[in-house]
Structure 1
Amino acid sequence: MKTLIIYDDTGYIYLQMSGMYQVPQGGIQYLETEVSEGKILKSIDISKTPHIPILEDMPKTDLEKTQNQLLETQAQLADLQEQILLKENGGM
Protein backbone atom coordinates (compact mmCIF):
# COMPACT_ATOMS: atom_id res chain seq x y z
CA MET A 1 0.00 0.00 0.00
CA LYS A 2 1.35 3.43 -0.93
CA THR A 3 1.98 5.66 2.07
CA LEU A 4 2.86 9.35 2.20
CA ILE A 5 5.37 10.17 4.94
CA ILE A 6 6.16 13.75 5.96
CA TYR A 7 9.42 14.08 7.91
CA ASP A 8 12.06 16.69 8.72
CA ASP A 9 15.79 16.86 7.98
CA THR A 10 16.55 14.80 11.10
CA GLY A 11 14.30 11.95 9.99
CA TYR A 12 11.57 12.70 12.54
CA ILE A 13 8.21 11.59 11.13
CA TYR A 14 5.41 14.13 11.53
CA LEU A 15 2.70 12.44 9.53
CA GLN A 16 2.07 9.31 7.58
CA MET A 17 -1.08 8.53 5.65
CA SER A 18 -2.31 5.86 3.31
CA GLY A 19 -5.27 5.71 1.00
CA MET A 20 -6.34 8.98 -0.60
CA TYR A 21 -3.88 11.85 -0.21
CA GLN A 22 -2.32 14.62 -2.24
CA VAL A 23 1.43 14.50 -2.80
CA PRO A 24 3.03 17.81 -1.71
CA GLN A 25 4.05 20.10 -4.57
CA GLY A 26 7.28 22.02 -3.97
CA GLY A 27 8.50 22.70 -0.46
CA ILE A 28 6.59 21.94 2.71
CA GLN A 29 5.85 24.98 4.89
CA TYR A 30 4.90 25.13 8.54
CA LEU A 31 3.11 27.59 10.74
CA GLU A 32 2.64 27.72 14.50
CA THR A 33 -0.62 29.29 15.58
CA GLU A 34 -3.22 29.22 18.32
CA VAL A 35 -6.46 27.50 17.41
CA SER A 36 -9.11 28.66 19.87
CA GLU A 37 -11.47 26.17 21.43
CA GLY A 38 -14.51 25.73 19.22
CA LYS A 39 -12.57 26.53 16.03
CA ILE A 40 -11.01 24.32 13.37
CA LEU A 41 -8.37 25.05 10.78
CA LYS A 42 -9.95 25.32 7.32
CA SER A 43 -6.93 26.32 5.23
CA ILE A 44 -3.90 28.60 5.02
CA ASP A 45 -4.06 31.89 3.10
CA ILE A 46 -0.75 31.90 1.21
CA SER A 47 -1.55 35.12 -0.70
CA LYS A 48 -0.08 37.15 2.20
CA THR A 49 3.26 37.05 3.98
CA PRO A 50 3.36 35.82 6.64
CA HIS A 51 0.82 33.17 5.72
CA ILE A 52 -2.43 33.38 7.68
CA PRO A 53 -4.46 30.46 9.05
CA ILE A 54 -8.14 30.47 8.07
CA LEU A 55 -10.25 29.29 11.00
CA GLU A 56 -13.94 28.50 11.14
CA ASP A 57 -16.39 27.49 13.82
CA MET A 58 -16.36 23.82 14.65
CA PRO A 59 -19.52 22.17 13.31
CA LYS A 60 -22.03 21.25 15.98
CA THR A 61 -22.26 17.58 16.87
CA ASP A 62 -25.53 15.70 16.47
CA LEU A 63 -25.86 15.76 20.27
CA GLU A 64 -25.46 19.57 20.38
CA LYS A 65 -28.02 19.97 17.58
CA THR A 66 -30.46 17.72 19.43
CA GLN A 67 -29.91 19.63 22.70
CA ASN A 68 -30.63 22.93 20.92
CA GLN A 69 -33.81 21.48 19.37
CA LEU A 70 -34.91 20.25 22.81
CA LEU A 71 -34.37 23.71 24.33
CA GLU A 72 -36.38 25.33 21.53
CA THR A 73 -39.18 22.79 21.94
CA GLN A 74 -39.25 23.34 25.71
CA ALA A 75 -39.50 27.11 25.19
CA GLN A 76 -42.36 26.65 22.71
CA LEU A 77 -44.16 24.32 25.12
CA ALA A 78 -43.79 26.82 27.97
CA ASP A 79 -45.23 29.55 25.71
CA LEU A 80 -48.19 27.33 24.78
CA GLN A 81 -48.82 26.48 28.43
CA GLU A 82 -48.84 30.19 29.29
CA GLN A 83 -51.31 30.91 26.48
CA ILE A 84 -53.63 28.13 27.69
CA LEU A 85 -53.51 29.45 31.26
CA LEU A 86 -54.33 32.96 30.06
CA LYS A 87 -57.34 31.68 28.09
CA GLU A 88 -58.56 29.63 31.04
CA ASN A 89 -58.25 32.67 33.33
CA GLY A 90 -60.26 35.08 31.28
CA GLY A 91 -58.54 35.41 27.92
CA MET A 92 -56.19 38.28 28.56
Structure 2
Amino acid sequence: MKTLIIYDNTGYIYLQLKSTENRIPQGGIQFLEMEVPEGKYIKNIDITVIPNVPVYEDVPKTDIEKLQEQIENLAQANAELTSIVAMGKTNA
Protein backbone atom coordinates (compact mmCIF):
# COMPACT_ATOMS: atom_id res chain seq x y z
CA MET A 1 0.00 0.00 0.00
CA LYS A 2 1.28 3.48 -0.85
CA THR A 3 2.11 5.80 2.04
CA LEU A 4 2.53 9.58 1.83
CA ILE A 5 5.02 10.83 4.43
CA ILE A 6 5.17 14.52 5.39
CA TYR A 7 8.51 15.43 6.97
CA ASP A 8 10.73 18.47 7.52
CA ASN A 9 14.31 19.20 6.47
CA THR A 10 15.64 17.51 9.62
CA GLY A 11 13.89 14.24 8.76
CA TYR A 12 11.23 14.57 11.47
CA ILE A 13 8.01 12.86 10.33
CA TYR A 14 4.83 14.83 10.96
CA LEU A 15 2.25 12.71 9.21
CA GLN A 16 1.94 9.37 7.46
CA LEU A 17 -1.11 8.71 5.29
CA LYS A 18 -1.75 5.18 4.06
CA SER A 19 -4.01 5.22 1.06
CA THR A 20 -4.13 4.40 -2.59
CA GLU A 21 -5.26 7.94 -3.47
CA ASN A 22 -3.06 10.42 -1.61
CA ARG A 23 -2.79 13.92 -2.97
CA ILE A 24 0.87 14.68 -3.59
CA PRO A 25 1.91 18.16 -2.38
CA GLN A 26 2.33 20.71 -5.17
CA GLY A 27 5.24 23.11 -4.65
CA GLY A 28 6.38 23.81 -1.11
CA ILE A 29 4.69 22.82 2.10
CA GLN A 30 3.53 25.77 4.24
CA PHE A 31 2.39 25.90 7.85
CA LEU A 32 0.36 28.01 10.24
CA GLU A 33 0.44 27.76 14.02
CA MET A 34 -2.71 29.04 15.69
CA GLU A 35 -5.44 28.45 18.22
CA VAL A 36 -8.57 26.91 16.73
CA PRO A 37 -11.72 28.34 18.35
CA GLU A 38 -13.74 25.88 20.39
CA GLY A 39 -16.53 24.27 18.40
CA LYS A 40 -14.78 24.98 15.08
CA TYR A 41 -12.46 23.12 12.74
CA ILE A 42 -10.29 24.33 9.89
CA LYS A 43 -11.92 23.45 6.57
CA ASN A 44 -9.09 24.79 4.41
CA ILE A 45 -6.60 27.64 4.10
CA ASP A 46 -7.41 30.77 2.09
CA ILE A 47 -4.26 31.30 0.04
CA THR A 48 -5.70 34.25 -1.90
CA VAL A 49 -4.68 36.63 0.90
CA ILE A 50 -1.29 37.24 2.50
CA PRO A 51 -0.77 36.21 5.18
CA ASN A 52 -2.80 33.06 4.47
CA VAL A 53 -5.73 32.57 6.83
CA PRO A 54 -7.74 29.52 7.89
CA VAL A 55 -11.36 29.06 6.89
CA TYR A 56 -13.34 27.78 9.90
CA GLU A 57 -16.53 25.75 10.02
CA ASP A 58 -18.64 24.58 12.93
CA VAL A 59 -17.89 21.09 14.20
CA PRO A 60 -20.89 18.93 13.26
CA LYS A 61 -23.07 17.80 16.15
CA THR A 62 -22.61 14.23 17.28
CA ASP A 63 -25.52 11.80 17.30
CA ILE A 64 -25.61 12.07 21.10
CA GLU A 65 -25.86 15.87 20.95
CA LYS A 66 -28.69 15.59 18.41
CA LEU A 67 -30.53 13.11 20.64
CA GLN A 68 -30.04 15.36 23.69
CA GLU A 69 -31.62 18.26 21.77
CA GLN A 70 -34.56 16.03 20.80
CA ILE A 71 -35.03 15.02 24.45
CA GLU A 72 -34.99 18.67 25.54
CA ASN A 73 -37.51 19.60 22.83
CA LEU A 74 -39.79 16.70 23.78
CA ALA A 75 -39.57 17.59 27.48
CA GLN A 76 -40.51 21.20 26.69
CA ALA A 77 -43.41 20.10 24.48
CA ASN A 78 -44.58 17.71 27.21
CA ALA A 79 -44.48 20.52 29.80
CA GLU A 80 -46.51 22.78 27.49
CA LEU A 81 -49.10 20.05 26.86
CA THR A 82 -49.31 19.31 30.58
CA SER A 83 -49.91 23.01 31.24
CA ILE A 84 -52.63 23.18 28.55
CA VAL A 85 -54.37 20.08 29.91
CA ALA A 86 -54.18 21.40 33.49
CA MET A 87 -55.62 24.76 32.47
CA GLY A 88 -58.36 23.04 30.49
CA LYS A 89 -59.43 21.05 33.56
CA THR A 90 -59.49 24.11 35.81
CA ASN A 91 -61.54 26.09 33.27
CA ALA A 92 -64.13 23.36 32.84
TM-score interval, smaller chain: over 0.9
> What is the match of residue 71 of structure 2?
70
Mapping for residues 1-92 of structure 1, pairs under 5 Å: 1-19=1-19, 20-90=21-91
1:64 alignment partner AA: E
Let me know the Cα RMSD of the aligned residues: 0.9
Deviation at 1:27, TM superposition (A): 0.7
Alpha-carbon distance between aligned partners in 2 of 1:81 and 1:22, rounded to the nearest angstrom: 58
- Unpaired segments of 5 or more residues in structure 2? none
Alpha-carbon distance between aligned partners in 2 of 1:21 and 1:35, rounded to the nearest angstrom: 25
Deviation per CA, 1:19-41: give whole Å up to 9, x if none.
Answer: 13211111111111110121111
Alpha-carbon distance between aligned partners in 2 of 1:64 and 1:43, rounded to the nearest angstrom: 25
Normalising to structure 1: TM-score of the pair? 0.95
Task: Give the ranges of 4+ consecutive aligned residues of structure 1 lying more than 3 Å apart after TM superposition.
Answer: none
Normalising to structure 2: TM-score of the pair? 0.95
- Unpaired segments of 5 or more residues in structure 1? none
Count of residues in correspondence between the two structures? 91
Deviation at 1:8, TM superposition (A): 0.3
